[in-house]
């Protein structure tokens, strides 16, 4: 087990780490899309120097949505980078907190292949089980 994530109400580990990473990527992309959609509205208000037409309940909701999208983007970006670093350094979140080391012979590239399956392709971004999925014998549990 890597860690328990209350956001997905499940433990993240060897067999569902790909889905957790994809979840973070998808939420980050959606948040960026929301930001890109809302920012032109605020930009047009700033260019007009007359925002009276924008001061209504819609603008307040858009402002709250803008803040929420930015928070979700940065939150999922931090989780994504943390998980990618854990794969890169071959250690779990719990192992990192306990300062444990797991010496494996896998290269850094192969560690990502172990999570996503096969060589890099469009299938890395689909929530499907890797075609070469099998239980890995090198997982360090103490």
Tens of pLDDT, residues 6-25: 777 777 777 788 888 999 99
Q: Select from 59, 65, 29, 23 the least CA-distant residue to 44.
A: 59
Catalytic residue set: 5
Average pLDDT estimate for 123-142: 67
pLDDT value, residue 141 = 47
Q: CB-based burial of residue 22 (10 Å sphere; 0-12 exposed, 13-18 middle, 19+ buried)?
A: middle
Question: What is the 8-class DSSP label of residue 1?
Answer: -
**Domain boundaries defined on the chain:** 3-106
**pTM reported for the whole predicted model:** 0.76
Average pLDDT estimate for 90-101: 71
Residues 83, 21: contact at Cβ < 8 Å?
Answer: yes
User: Three-state DSSP class for 131?
Assistant: coil
Residue 133 CA to residue 142 CA, distance in Å, equals 24
User: Three-state DSSP class for 35?
Assistant: helix
Residue 8 CA to residue 10 CA, distance in Å, equals 5
């Amino acid at each position: 087990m890597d860690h328990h994530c209350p956001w997905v109400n499940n433990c993240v580990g060897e067999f569902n780490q790909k889905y957790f990473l994809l979840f973070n990527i998808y939420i980050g992309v959606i948040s960026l899309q929301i930001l890109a959609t809302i920012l032109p509205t605020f930009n047009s208000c700033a260019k007009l120097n007359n925002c009276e037409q924008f001061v209504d309940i819609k603008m307040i909701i858009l402002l709250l949505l803008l803040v929420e999208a930015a928070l979700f983007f940065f939150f999922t970006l931090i989780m994504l980078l943390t998980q990618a670093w854990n794969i890169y350094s071959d250690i779990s979140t719990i192992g990192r907190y306990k300062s444990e080391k797991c010496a494996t012979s896998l290269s850094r590239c192969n560690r990502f292949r172990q999570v996503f399956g096969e060589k890099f392709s469009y299938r890395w971004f689909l929530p499907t089980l890797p075609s070469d999925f099998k239980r890995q014998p090198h997982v360090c549990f103490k």
